[in-house]
Structure 1
Amino acid sequence: MTLLQVMAADNAADVRVRTTDDAVIGAELAEHGITFGRWPVVDGAAAVDSDALLAHYADAVAELNASGRYQHIDIARIHPDDTNPEWPEVAAGARAKFLNEHRHAEDEVRFFAAGRGCFYLHLGHEVLAVVCEGGDLLSVPAGTLHWFDMGTRPDFIAIRFFEEEDGWVGDFTGDRISEAFPTLDELLTAS
């Protein structure tokens, strides 16, 4: 389920909006210049290799990139591997990379082909937690303060769009704000 939870930046318990309604989510995000959309999902996307997945979404990708702005389009995948005894450390390391507040010099554009992850957008006096799932497209404007949580058991496939090859590199603020907000797992279990 796609979820938007809007909280006061100085008090995560002050929940101003909590909704799974795509129209409400899209409207709320649009007020902040954030694009939210939906594309159809591929059944069994985890079993589809990256080249075939990109080929499947070629028309949607071409429409999104009609201006030619995005020079680097790829797929990020992370799936649980219970056969690997090092998986818990691998997952924790992957998750920890983006749990602290940062910004990027270019827009952060992601389409979730499968799985889920949560973008936390620090917009002035509010933090918007956007839980994205398979089918969700999110475009966060350059310079937006945010962090990302893939959960304690990361499992997602996302098509990423970059203007520059190093567009994913974050400028970390050093602010520990993320520690005061519910994690992805906590958001999903809240009533």
Structure 2
Amino acid sequence: MSSLSVYHVSSPDIPNKVLTHFEDIAATLAERGVRFERWEAATRIQPDASEADIIAAYQARIDALMTECGYVTVEVLRVKSDDAQEAEPQAGPLEERSHRHDEVRLFVAGRGLFSLHIDDYVYAVLCERNDLITVPAGTPHWFDMGERPYWVAVRMSAGSQETQLTGDDIAGRFSRLED
């Protein structure tokens, strides 16, 4: 089940708010400029589906979002425990970073924890199958894949995913995604 835990940066062990209802999560994130939606595939996606099959299952929604937001690339990312070290070659997955363009992920399978550092708060968003999250350009965040990572996601972007590390060690002060 998707969830949102909101923490003040001074109290990383105690969330101010924990939400599990989709509408509450989406509304709270929207207040901070973060898009959070639930997308259903138009066709059933098989475990061994190709990148083309996965994209085709969401094609109409992908096309609409790409047109609306000016995204120009779409790709499928796959991570499982065996290849987790290769998943984020630009930096360790628990280092706070930001991107020049929006970071959009639609989870097709598995799960991951996006933690967004906005002002004095951290919004920890547990994303699972059918969750779409858009992290606005320039938003400091980190992504936790868990101890035994497994996820498949569609990523859309307006350009290259240039990563800028913030140098802040905040990610190490917050709870990890536990399997």
Instruction: Mark yes or no: TM-score above 0.5.
Output: yes
1:36 aligns with 2:29: no
Query: What's the CA shift for 1:97?
Result: 2.5
1:148 aligns with 2:143: yes
Task: Give runs of aligned pairs for residues 73-112 of structure 1, distance below 5 A.
Answer: 73-80=74-81, 87=82, 90-92=83-85, 94=87, 97-112=92-107
Q: Secondary structure at the match of 1:13?
A: coil
The one-letter code sitting in structure 2 at the alignment partner of 1:58 is: Q
What is aligned with 2:72?
71
What is aligned with 1:134?
129
Unaligned runs of 5+ residues in structure 2 are: none
Deviations along 1:65-115, one digit per CA (max 9) or x if unpaired, are 1247111110001124xxxxxx3xx42564663210010111111111111
Query: Number of residues paired by the alignment?
Result: 176
Equivalent of 1:114 in 66, 87, 109: 109
**Percent of aligned pairs sharing the same letter:** 36
What is aligned with 2:57?
56
Unaligned runs of 5+ residues in structure 1 are: 81-86
Give the TM-score normalised by structure 1. 0.86
Please tell me whether the aligned partners of residues 103 and 145 of structure 1 are also in contact (alpha carbons under 8 angstroms): yes
What is aligned with 1:19?
19
1:174 aligns with 2:167: yes
Query: What's the CA shift for 1:40?
Result: 0.9
Please tell me whether the aligned partners of residues 29 and 36 of structure 1 are also in contact (alpha carbons under 8 angstroms): yes
Once residues 134 and 56 of structure 2 are traced to their aligned partners in structure 1, the CA distance between those partners, rounded to angstroms, is 21
**CA 1:93/1:52 → structure 2, altered by over 3 Å: closer, same or farther?**
closer
RMSD over equivalenced CA pairs, Å: 1.8
Please tell me whether the aligned partners of residues 120 and 147 of structure 1 are also in contact (alpha carbons under 8 angstroms): yes
Please tell me whether the aligned partners of residues 13 and 175 of structure 2 are also in contact (alpha carbons under 8 angstroms): no
Please tell me whether the aligned partners of residues 92 and 152 of structure 1 are also in contact (alpha carbons under 8 angstroms): no
Please tell me whether the aligned partners of residues 7 and 14 of structure 1 are also in contact (alpha carbons under 8 angstroms): yes
The one-letter code sitting in structure 2 at the alignment partner of 1:181 is: F
**CA 1:36/1:15 → structure 2, altered by over 3 Å: closer, same or farther?**
same
Once residues 99 and 123 of structure 2 are traced to their aligned partners in structure 1, the CA distance between those partners, rounded to angstroms, is 17
